[in-house]
Chain A
Amino acid sequence: MKIKPRYVLMFVLPAMFLYTLFVIYPLFDSLRLSFYSWRGVGEKIFVGLRNYKDMFSGGFSKEVFNALSHNVYFFILVSAFELGLGFLIALLLASKIKGAKIFRTVVYLPNMIPLVMVGFMWSLFLHPQIGLVNQFLKAIGLGSLARPWLGDPNLALTTIIMVNVWRNLGFYVLVILASILNISPDLIEAAYIDGANNWKISWKIIFPLTIPTFRTLLILLFIGSFNVFDMIYALEGVQAGPFRSTDVLGTVFYRTAFGGLGSAYTDMGLGAAVTVFIFMIVMPMSILYVYLVERRDRR
Chain B
Amino acid sequence: MMRFSKYYKLLAYFVLSIYAFIIAGPFFMMIMNSFKSMRELFLKPFSLPSKFMYQNYVQAWQKASIARGYINSAMIAAASVVTVVVLASMFAYMISKYEFKGRRYLFLYSMLGLALPARLAVIPIFLLLRTLNLTNSLIGLIIVYSSVNIPFSAFILKNFIDSVPNELCEAAKIDGASVATIYRRVILPLIKPALSIVAIVTFVNVWNDFFFPLILINDKSKATITLAVSIFFGEYSTQWQLLFSGLTLSIAPTVILFLIFSQYFIAGMTQGAIK
Contacts and interface: CB of A to CB of B under 8 A. Distances in A.
B49 to A, nearest CB: 15
B108 interface: yes
B266 A174 contact: yes
Given A115-B210, A294-B111, A26 B12 contact: no
A14 B247 CA distance: 38
Contacts of A117: 226, 229, 247, 250-251
Interface stretch (B51-59, B89-97, B191-199): B89-97
Contact of A95 (B9, B99, B125): B9
Contacts of A155: none
Interface string B224-268: 001001100100000010011001001100110011001001100
A220 interface: yes
27 contacts: A1-B99, A1-B169, A3-B94, A3-B100, A11-B183, A21-B147, A25-B124, A27-B124, A29-B123, A95-B2, A97-B13, A108-B258, A109-B255, A112-B265, A114-B226, A120-B230, A124-B240, A124-B243, A132-B46, A166-B22, A227-B119, A275-B120, A275-B122, A275-B123, A278-B117, A285-B115, A289-B115
A54 B114 CA distance: 31
A282 interface: yes
Interface in A7-55: 7-8, 11-12, 14-16, 18-19, 21-27, 29-30, 33
Nearest to A125: B26
Interface string B138-163: 00000110111011001100010000
A70 B63 CA distance: 36
B247 to A, nearest CB: 6
Given A268-B123, A275-B122, 19 more contacts: A1-B166, A2-B99, A14-B87, A22-B147, A23-B121, A26-B123, A26-B125, A29-B124, A97-B16, A107-B19, A107-B23, A108-B266, A130-B45, A135-B45, A174-B266, A213-B274, A272-B123, A272-B124, A279-B120
A139 B12 contact: no
Interface size bracket, A side: 35 or more
A94 B1 contact: yes
A104 B125 CA distance: 38
Interface string A50-76: 000000000000000000000000000
Contact of B270 (A174, A234, A282): A174
Contacts, number: 277
B226 A290 contact: no
A115 to B, nearest CB: 7
A264 B12 CA distance: 53
A28 to B, nearest CB: 8
A217 B262 CA distance: 22
A116 interface: yes
B48 interface: no
A30 B121 CA distance: 6
A175 B272 CA distance: 10
A261 interface: no
Closest A-B pairs by Cβ, 9 of them = A26-B121, A22-B147, A26-B124, A29-B124, A286-B115, A114-B208, A15-B87, A15-B91, A116-B210
Nearest to A5: B100
A171 to B, nearest CB: 7
Given A95-B9, A132-B29, A234 B94 contact: no
A278 B123 CA distance: 14
B19 A11 contact: no
